[in-house]
Amino acid sequence: MLRDKRGQALIEFAIILPLLIFILLGIAELGWYFVIRIALSNAATTGAEFAAYEGITDPDLVEERVREAADGVRLRGDDITVLIASYQDKEGIKPKYALVQINYTYRPLVTGNLFRRTVTIKARAIRYYPSAPETAQTEAIPQTM
Protein backbone atom coordinates (compact mmCIF):
# COMPACT_ATOMS: atom_id res chain seq x y z
CA MET A 1 0.00 0.00 0.00
CA LEU A 2 2.80 2.46 0.91
CA ARG A 3 4.55 1.64 -2.35
CA ASP A 4 1.52 2.74 -4.38
CA LYS A 5 1.41 6.15 -2.69
CA ARG A 6 5.10 6.81 -3.37
CA GLY A 7 4.58 5.98 -7.00
CA GLN A 8 1.58 8.27 -7.20
CA ALA A 9 3.54 11.17 -5.66
CA LEU A 10 6.37 10.60 -8.13
CA ILE A 11 3.97 10.67 -11.09
CA GLU A 12 2.28 13.85 -9.81
CA PHE A 13 5.67 15.49 -9.32
CA ALA A 14 6.74 14.48 -12.84
CA ILE A 15 3.58 16.03 -14.25
CA ILE A 16 3.96 19.29 -12.30
CA LEU A 17 7.76 19.67 -12.69
CA PRO A 18 7.77 21.09 -16.27
CA LEU A 19 5.19 23.69 -15.28
CA LEU A 20 7.22 24.70 -12.22
CA ILE A 21 10.40 24.98 -14.30
CA PHE A 22 8.59 27.09 -16.91
CA ILE A 23 7.25 29.43 -14.20
CA LEU A 24 10.68 29.80 -12.56
CA LEU A 25 12.33 30.51 -15.92
CA GLY A 26 9.62 33.07 -16.66
CA ILE A 27 10.34 34.85 -13.37
CA ALA A 28 14.07 34.87 -14.15
CA GLU A 29 13.31 36.16 -17.66
CA LEU A 30 11.21 39.00 -16.28
CA GLY A 31 14.06 39.94 -13.95
CA TRP A 32 16.54 39.97 -16.83
CA TYR A 33 14.15 42.14 -18.87
CA PHE A 34 14.09 44.75 -16.10
CA VAL A 35 17.88 44.63 -15.71
CA ILE A 36 18.26 45.41 -19.43
CA ARG A 37 15.59 48.10 -19.32
CA ILE A 38 17.26 49.87 -16.38
CA ALA A 39 20.71 49.57 -18.02
CA LEU A 40 19.40 51.11 -21.25
CA SER A 41 17.62 53.90 -19.41
CA ASN A 42 20.79 54.73 -17.49
CA ALA A 43 22.84 54.61 -20.70
CA ALA A 44 20.48 57.00 -22.48
CA THR A 45 20.59 59.39 -19.52
CA THR A 46 24.38 59.20 -19.39
CA GLY A 47 24.64 59.96 -23.11
CA ALA A 48 22.25 62.91 -22.94
CA GLU A 49 23.98 64.37 -19.89
CA PHE A 50 27.38 63.90 -21.52
CA ALA A 51 26.23 65.78 -24.61
CA ALA A 52 24.48 68.59 -22.75
CA TYR A 53 26.82 69.24 -19.84
CA GLU A 54 30.07 68.74 -21.73
CA GLY A 55 28.79 70.72 -24.72
CA ILE A 56 29.33 67.83 -27.15
CA THR A 57 27.63 68.24 -30.52
CA ASP A 58 29.17 65.21 -32.26
CA PRO A 59 26.62 62.35 -32.22
CA ASP A 60 29.38 59.75 -32.67
CA LEU A 61 31.03 60.75 -29.38
CA VAL A 62 27.69 60.58 -27.60
CA GLU A 63 26.95 57.18 -29.13
CA GLU A 64 30.32 55.90 -27.94
CA ARG A 65 29.56 57.11 -24.40
CA VAL A 66 26.15 55.39 -24.53
CA ARG A 67 27.77 52.10 -25.56
CA GLU A 68 30.23 52.36 -22.67
CA ALA A 69 27.39 53.09 -20.24
CA ALA A 70 25.26 50.17 -21.48
CA ASP A 71 27.66 47.68 -19.98
CA GLY A 72 26.43 44.12 -20.41
CA VAL A 73 23.92 44.93 -23.16
CA ARG A 74 25.14 44.30 -26.69
CA LEU A 75 23.98 47.30 -28.68
CA ARG A 76 24.12 47.25 -32.46
CA GLY A 77 24.71 50.36 -34.55
CA ASP A 78 21.06 50.89 -35.42
CA ASP A 79 19.91 50.53 -31.81
CA ILE A 80 20.99 54.04 -30.81
CA THR A 81 19.67 57.32 -32.19
CA VAL A 82 21.36 60.53 -31.07
CA LEU A 83 19.83 63.90 -31.89
CA ILE A 84 21.58 67.15 -31.09
CA ALA A 85 18.96 69.75 -31.86
CA SER A 86 18.67 73.50 -31.88
CA TYR A 87 15.83 75.76 -32.87
CA GLN A 88 14.88 79.40 -32.56
CA ASP A 89 12.22 80.48 -30.15
CA LYS A 90 10.14 83.65 -30.39
CA GLU A 91 12.92 85.88 -29.07
CA GLY A 92 15.46 84.52 -31.56
CA ILE A 93 17.44 82.70 -28.88
CA LYS A 94 18.73 79.30 -29.93
CA PRO A 95 18.35 76.86 -27.07
CA LYS A 96 19.81 73.41 -27.57
CA TYR A 97 18.96 70.06 -26.19
CA ALA A 98 20.39 66.59 -26.58
CA LEU A 99 18.05 63.68 -27.11
CA VAL A 100 19.30 60.09 -26.91
CA GLN A 101 16.96 57.27 -27.82
CA ILE A 102 17.73 53.57 -27.68
CA ASN A 103 15.50 51.00 -29.36
CA TYR A 104 16.78 47.59 -28.36
CA THR A 105 15.34 44.39 -29.80
CA TYR A 106 15.23 41.85 -27.01
CA ARG A 107 14.58 38.19 -27.63
CA PRO A 108 13.40 36.43 -24.47
CA LEU A 109 15.13 33.14 -23.75
CA VAL A 110 12.03 31.26 -22.64
CA THR A 111 9.17 32.56 -24.77
CA GLY A 112 11.33 34.04 -27.53
CA ASN A 113 12.69 30.68 -28.62
CA LEU A 114 9.37 28.96 -28.09
CA PHE A 115 7.16 31.42 -29.98
CA ARG A 116 9.78 33.31 -32.08
CA ARG A 117 8.82 36.63 -30.53
CA THR A 118 10.89 39.70 -29.81
CA VAL A 119 10.28 42.68 -27.55
CA THR A 120 11.47 46.20 -28.30
CA ILE A 121 12.80 47.93 -25.20
CA LYS A 122 12.87 51.71 -25.56
CA ALA A 123 14.87 54.15 -23.49
CA ARG A 124 14.88 57.89 -24.04
CA ALA A 125 16.57 60.81 -22.32
CA ILE A 126 16.53 64.55 -22.99
CA ARG A 127 18.89 67.07 -21.42
CA TYR A 128 19.10 70.77 -22.14
CA TYR A 129 22.39 72.50 -22.62
CA PRO A 130 23.10 74.71 -19.59
CA SER A 131 23.17 77.82 -21.78
CA ALA A 132 19.55 77.25 -22.76
CA PRO A 133 17.22 79.76 -21.08
CA GLU A 134 14.60 78.43 -18.67
CA THR A 135 11.69 79.51 -20.89
CA ALA A 136 13.03 77.44 -23.77
CA GLN A 137 12.74 74.27 -21.75
CA THR A 138 8.96 74.38 -22.10
CA GLU A 139 9.09 74.33 -25.89
CA ALA A 140 7.92 71.28 -27.78
CA ILE A 141 10.30 68.36 -28.02
CA PRO A 142 9.85 65.75 -30.77
CA GLN A 143 7.92 62.79 -29.40
CA THR A 144 9.06 60.27 -32.00
CA MET A 145 12.07 59.88 -34.16
| pLDDT at position 136 | 47
Domain ranges of the chain: 2-138
pLDDT for 27: 93
- How many C-beta neighbours within 10 Å does residue 31 have? 10
What band does 42 get if pLDDT is binned at 50, 70 and 90? very high
pLDDT of residue 135: 47
The H or E element that residue 103 is part of is: strand 96-106
What are 47-77's pLDDT values in tens digits?
889 988 887 778 888 888 988 888 778 777 6
8 A C-beta contact, residue 129 and residue 95 = yes
Q: Is the pLDDT of residue 45 over 80?
A: yes
Predicted local distance difference test score (pLDDT) of residue 37: 92
Answer whether 0.75 is exceeded by the pTM.
Answer: no
Name the DSSP letter for residue 77: G
Max intra-chain CA distance, the chain: 92
